[in-house]
């Protein structure tokens, strides 16, 4: 057999296209998007027995004051006011940090009747400021 010249380049061997490497799909989230959407309306708070008892006492005081509310409604109002205050602080780029959610819940439990009215007024005021 004759020797091939040095500048001769051999054509690459044909590889079958179907033999592509299989890769496992990368997991991007801990839960599926459907599960995440379902969880958007759930909030899990860990309250101590003292905090829970204080909220129950606050609810009883509100009931005596003529406001029949559930714990969920009380927490919902506190959380709504907290979120609105955080959004307003972020929009204004305020330097002092916004009080934590649990601190607001504890403050609410200390004076429920005044806080119930004040929270409603604050939410209305802050919604008007961000709208």
Least confident of 2-6, 25-29, 96-100: 25-29
Query: Is residue 95 over pLDDT 60?
Result: no
Question: What does the pLDDT look like over 29-80, one tens digit per residue?
Answer: 666 777 767 766 677 788 899 999 999 999 999 999 898 988 888 888 888 8
Cβ neighbours for 88, distance < 8 A, ≥ 6 positions apart: 126, 129, 130
Higher pLDDT, 92 or 45: 45
How far is it, in rounded angstroms, from Cα 66 to Cα 79? 22
Domain boundaries, the chain: 47-130
Among residues of the chain, what percentage have pLDDT more than 70? 75
Residue 91 pLDDT: 72
Cβ neighbours for 43, distance < 8 A, ≥ 6 positions apart: 75, 79
Least confident of 12-16, 18-22, 88-92: 18-22
How far is it, in rounded angstroms, from Cα 129 to Cα 88? 8
Question: Which pTM was predicted?
Answer: 0.44
**Which pair of tokens denotes residue 29?**
């989230």
Angle in degrees, CA 28, 34, 40, rounded to 5: 95
């Amino acid at each position: 057999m004759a020797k091939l010249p040095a500048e001769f380049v051999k054509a690459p061997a044909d590889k079958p296209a179907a033999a592509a490497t299989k890769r496992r799909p990368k997991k991007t989230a801990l839960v599926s998007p459907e599960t995440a959407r379902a969880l958007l309306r759930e909030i899990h708070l860990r309250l101590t027995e003292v905090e829970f008892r204080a909220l129950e006492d606050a609810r009883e005081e509100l009931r005596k004051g003529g406001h029949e509310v559930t714990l969920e409604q009380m927490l919902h109002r506190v959380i709504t006011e907290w979120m609105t205050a955080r959004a307003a602080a972020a929009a204004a780029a305020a330097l002092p940090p916004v009080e934590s959610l649990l601190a607001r819940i504890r403050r609410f439990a200390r004076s429920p009747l005044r806080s119930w009215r004040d929270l409603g007024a604050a939410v209305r005021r802050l919604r008007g400021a961000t709208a």
